Structure 1
Amino acid sequence: MFQAADTVLSNYFTFSGRANRAEYWWWMLFVFLTSLVMVFVDALLIAPFFGQSALTLKGPSPASLVTSLLLFFPNITVSVRRLHDIDKSGWWSFIVLIPLIGSLIYLYWTLKGGTQGTNSYGPAPY
Structure 2
Amino acid sequence: MEWYLSVIRQYFVFDGRARRKQYWMFMLINCIILIALYSLNQMARTEMFTSIYSLFIFIPSLALTVRRLHDTGRSGWWFLVSFIPFIGSLILLYFMVKDSVPGTNEFGPNPKETLSL
| TM more than 0.5 | yes
How far apart are the structure 1 equivalents of 2:47 and 2:84? 29
How far apart are the structure 2 equivalents of 1:7 and 1:117? 22
Gaps in structure 2 of 5+ consecutive residues? none
Q: Does 1:100 align with 2:86?
A: yes
Name which one, 1 or 2, has greater alpha-carbon Rg. Answer: 1
TM-score, normalization by structure 1: 0.85
Aligned residue number for residue 80 of structure 1 = 66
Aligned residue number for residue 114 of structure 1 = 100
Aligned residue number for residue 71 of structure 1 = 57
Aligned residue number for residue 56 of structure 1 = none
Aligned residue number for residue 51 of structure 1 = none
Higher alpha-carbon deviation: 100-109 or 88-97: 100-109
Superposed CA deviations along residues 63-96 of structure 1, whole A, max 9, x for unmatched, are 1111111111011000000000011000000001
Letter in 2 for 1:84: H
Aligned residue number for residue 10 of structure 1 = 9
Structure 1 runs, 4 residues or longer, greater than 6 Å off:
none
Gaps in structure 1 of 5+ consecutive residues? 48-59
Q: RMSD of the TM alignment (CA)?
A: 0.9
Q: Percent identity at matched positions? A: 38
Corresponding residue SS for 2:99:
coil
How far apart are the structure 2 equivalents of 1:43 and 1:96? 29
> How many residue pairs get matched?
112
Aligned residue number for residue 29 of structure 2 = 30
Higher alpha-carbon deviation: 14-23 or 94-103: 94-103
How far apart are the structure 2 equivalents of 1:101 and 1:43? 32
Aligned residue number for residue 90 of structure 1 = 76
